[in-house]
Amino acid sequence: MNRFSRHFRPKLYPRGWLLYRPFSTSSNNPHLHHQTSKPSPNQLVDSFTRLCLHGPLADALAVLDSLESRSLHAADPVDYLHLIKLCISAGDADAGRLVHRHLASGGRFPMLFLSNSLLGMYVRFGLVQDAWKLFDGLPQRNVVSWTTMISALIDLELKKDALELFAFMLRDGIRPNMFTFSSVLRGCDSLRTLKAVHCCVFNHGFNTDVFVRSSLIDVYFSNGDSESGYLVFDEMSTWDPVVWNSVIGGFAQFGHGCKALELFRRMKRAGFLAEQATLTSALRACTGMVYLEMGQQIHVHVLKYETDLILNNALLDLYCKSGTLEEAESIFQRMPEKDVISWSTMISGLAQSGRGLEALKLFKLMKAQGPKPNYITIVGVLFACSHAGLVEDGRYYFRSMKQLFDIEPGSEHYGCMVDLLGRAGKLDEALKLIHEMKLKPDAIIWRTLLGACRVHKNPTLAEYVADEILKLEPGDEGCYILLSNIYADAKQWSDVAQVRNVMRGRGIRKEPGRSWMELGKETHVFIAGDFSHPQMEGIKLELERLIRRTSDLGYAPDTDYVLHDLGREQKEESLWYHGEKMAIAFGMMNSTQGKPIRIMKNLRICGDCHAFAKLVSRTEGKMIVIRDPVRFHHFCEGTCSCGDYW
DNA sequence: TTAGGGTTAG
């Protein structure tokens, strides 16, 4: 929220309300009468032209002052245009206002292109009230005046007002151009509005303009309609890198990493040079799918942009999210410029890999010599405390975040605190915190507490919590699954059956657990109980070998992690074929000396697989990295970086 | 004189 938007709400009036209002003059200003020498009028006008073009601004203003005191004007109105540009490049809003006053005085109203230029200047300086006053008083306006104001309102997140202004513009009979549409589109925050504006784009024949198309693509994606976004891209061949990047960025941002990378390859095949923005999107796509090797290939292209901050941040995130912390730390050290995102990414990265103490140490360094922490930084800090079991540190930062960093705790911060207290077994305190929240607790927060109820085996509280979740999100499959797990832990089989019945009755199905890993250019996916992998026979043999080896070290299947009321042998067998275990066996079969096995999961890792992975890392002398949706587990020499606390 | 694409959490 910009400082202007708090105080400024434009009022829009119907057509015909505008009346010419003369601007106040500033001819009484004593500062404008200090000229001592008396150059000839021609000399003054000539030097004004020269100074407006090349500066310095102060001299140009002094001559403007002399011109005004002698009732002279520039030879060419374009001189004033140059002067306004000079004010903009000097960042001098007061000088701009002075020029405005000069143009408005002397009975000569500025020409429209000069008014528009002044409008643009005010907008650029964030002085929207000044811009609005000027716009309001203009005797006539053209498409540029309207577009400038519409765009300014959108920048202030006043999208509704911007669209209203657009409607008034059309009602005034002003024909929008491609500039207007690329702005107006950014103001569409619902699919309905977007489709209406899209029709308007067609009717005015601007659907081929690259600026308009990239805005259309971008806004379709951000309104959740990636299909229409792709259609806009695909309906004609595109020779503009930004349009390519809009669609690649859209897919990368909204969870279709494969599609984004496919388009990235198509773009390169079409002969385009991938520049910073495209490479950043491609990296984001790799990060989303934890395609480390693909990301490393892109890293090579990034080298020539090694000083680009955003690109480095994306790279940092890739290495953090793929659990390659050494590489991330090395990039972080080398980055010539670091912003709050760089620091926050690194802090969260350390936290997710179980290095909570180091994350807090880095946060202390950030406080001493880095940028001011923001909302997300504190989420990372609390996450670090929660996953490292640092209850007191977490309490301290949560209590003092407002005072120390002027950040109000938001639902994510509460979520971390509930997680922190819940993990530490302080379920009552976590519940009390939720009840005391100023905000309305969302389903995520309740789900966090439900997770803690499972770890600390509390079916009574779990029932209450599940009830709260289902009030908010009646179709939440995760809630049913967790509740049934909690009942299964407590061996309350009739309750398990009841939950399953309700699920069946409501048509709710469990999302299957998937584990996957990259091997060369392929991704291998493993789902519990699914034996369709072409190398399944080998995987079964390898798994049996690993189970034999780990049994010697005391591995015994922990059947608490099986949901159903099966016999012991059946339970053990269903544990053997969890996706993680099949992926570990497959990873061992195809492993390269010295390289860790990297596995990704769509659900949290189960306790039995966690114990198994620890032992395999010891018997086989192999590092295993498993990423679940929340954090990393680095298994090495029989222990895990999470310290069995997750 | 007005317009488009990239990075951090859960």
Give the nucleotide at minimum CA-to-C1' distance from A445.
B10
Preceding omega of A474 cis (within 30 degrees of 0) = no
For residues A615 and A552, give the distance between their C-alpha atoms in angstroms, rounded to a whole number. Answer: 10
- Which protein residue lies nearest to nucleotide B10, measured between its Cα and the C1' atom? A412
**What are the pLDDT digits (tens) for A290-336?**
888 889 999 998 889 999 999 999 999 999 998 899 999 999 999 99
pLDDT higher than 50, residue A7: no
Measured between alpha carbons, how far apart are the two ends of chain A, in Å?
36
Q: Is the CB of A147 under 7 A from strand B?
A: yes
Angle of helix A536-552 relative to helix A607-619, nearest 10 degrees, comes to: 80
For residues A488 and A504, give the distance between their C-alpha atoms in angstroms, rounded to a whole number. Answer: 18
Q: Is the CB of A287 under 7 A from strand B?
A: yes
For residues A215 and A433, give the distance between their C-alpha atoms in angstroms, rounded to a whole number. Answer: 43
Task: pLDDT band for A110, please (50, 70, 90 cuts).
Answer: low
**DSSP, res A29:** -
Give the nucleotide at minimum CA-to-C1' distance from A248.
B5
Q: Are A420 and A399 in contact (CB under 8 A)?
A: no
What is the spatial distance, in angstroms and rounded to an integer, between the CA atom of A156 and the C1' atom of B1?
21
Strand B neighbours among A 626-645, CB < 7 A: 630
What is the spatial distance, in angstroms and rounded to an integer, between the CA atom of A303 and the C1' atom of B5?
20
Strand B neighbours among A 388-417, CB < 7 A: 410-412, 415-416
Strand B neighbours among A 355-384, CB < 7 A: 374-377, 379-380, 383
pLDDT at A607: 81
pLDDT higher than 80, residue A37: no
pLDDT at A229: 96
* Lowest-confidence segment of A9-18, A59-68, A131-140, A606-615 by average pLDDT: A9-18
Residue showing tokens 């012991």: A568
Q: Is the CB of A207 under 7 A from strand B?
A: no
For residues A285 and A249, give the distance between their C-alpha atoms in angstroms, rounded to a whole number. Answer: 8
Give the nucleotide at minimum CA-to-C1' distance from A147.
B2
Rg, Å, chain A Cα set? 32
Q: Is the CB of A322 under 7 A from strand B?
A: no
Task: pLDDT band for A108, please (50, 70, 90 cuts).
Answer: low
Q: pLDDT averaged over chain A?
A: 86
pLDDT higher than 90, residue A74: no
Q: Are A503 and A509 in contact (CB under 8 A)?
A: yes
Measured torsion, CA atoms of residues A26, A28, A31, A35, in degrees rounded to the nearest 10: 110
**What are the pLDDT digits (tens) for A246-291?**
999 999 999 899 999 999 999 999 999 999 999 999 999 999 888 8
Establish if A614 belongs to a structural domain: yes
Q: What percent of chain A has pLDDT over 70?
A: 91
Contacts of A395 (CB under 8 A, 6+ apart): A417, A420
pLDDT at A67: 87
Q: Is the CB of A260 under 7 A from strand B?
A: no
Paired strand residues for A523: A518
Strand B neighbours among A 546-585, CB < 7 A: none
pLDDT at A5: 37
Q: Is the CB of A180 under 7 A from strand B?
A: yes
Q: How many domains are contained in chain A?
A: 1
For residues A601 and A535, give the distance between their C-alpha atoms in angstroms, rounded to a whole number. Answer: 20
Residue A522, SS3? strand
Q: Is the CB of A120 under 7 A from strand B?
A: yes
What is the spatial distance, in angstroms and rounded to an integer, between the CA atom of A214 and the C1' atom of B3?
10
- Which protein residue lies nearest to nucleotide B4, measured between its Cα and the C1' atom? A211
Q: Are A588 and A628 in contact (CB under 8 A)?
A: no
pLDDT at A569: 66
Q: Is the CB of A508 under 7 A from strand B?
A: no
Phi-psi group of A458: left, alpha or beta (phi > 0 → left; psi -120 to 50 → alpha; rest → beta):
beta
Establish if A195 belongs to a structural domain: no
Q: Is the CB of A281 under 7 A from strand B?
A: yes
Establish if A175 belongs to a structural domain: no
Give the nucleotide at minimum CA-to-C1' distance from A351.
B9
Q: Is the CB of A525 under 7 A from strand B?
A: no
Q: What is the domain extent for residue A589?
A: 527-640
Nucleotides of B under 7 A from a protein CB: 1-10
pLDDT at A111: 85
- Among candidate residues A441, A382, A386, the one with its CA nearest the CA of residue A411: A441
pLDDT at A1: 34
Q: Is the CB of A348 under 7 A from strand B?
A: yes
**What are the pLDDT digits (tens) for A559-617?**
666 655 566 666 667 777 888 889 999 999 988 877 788 888 888 888 888 889 999 98
Establish if A540 belongs to a structural domain: yes
- Burial class (CB within 10 angstroms; exposed 0-12, middle 13-18, buried 19+) of A202: exposed
Give the nucleotide at minimum CA-to-C1' distance from A117.
B1
Give the nucleotide at minimum CA-to-C1' distance from A154.
B3
- Among candidate residues A290, A367, A361, A293, the one with its CA nearest the CA of residue A626: A290
Establish if A583 belongs to a structural domain: yes
pLDDT at A566: 61
Establish if A94 belongs to a structural domain: no
Q: What percent of chain A has pLDDT over 90?
A: 55
pLDDT higher than 90, residue A557: no
Q: Is the CB of A496 under 7 A from strand B?
A: no
Looking at per-residue pLDDT, the higher value among A38 and A483 belongs to: A483
What is the spatial distance, in angstroms and rounded to an integer, between the CA atom of A116 and the C1' atom of B1?
5
pLDDT higher than 80, residue A508: no
What is the spatial distance, in angstroms and rounded to an integer, between the CA atom of A334 and the C1' atom of B4?
32
Write out the H or E segment, with its range, that includes residue A122.
helix A112-124
Looking at per-residue pLDDT, the higher value among A359 and A290 belongs to: A359
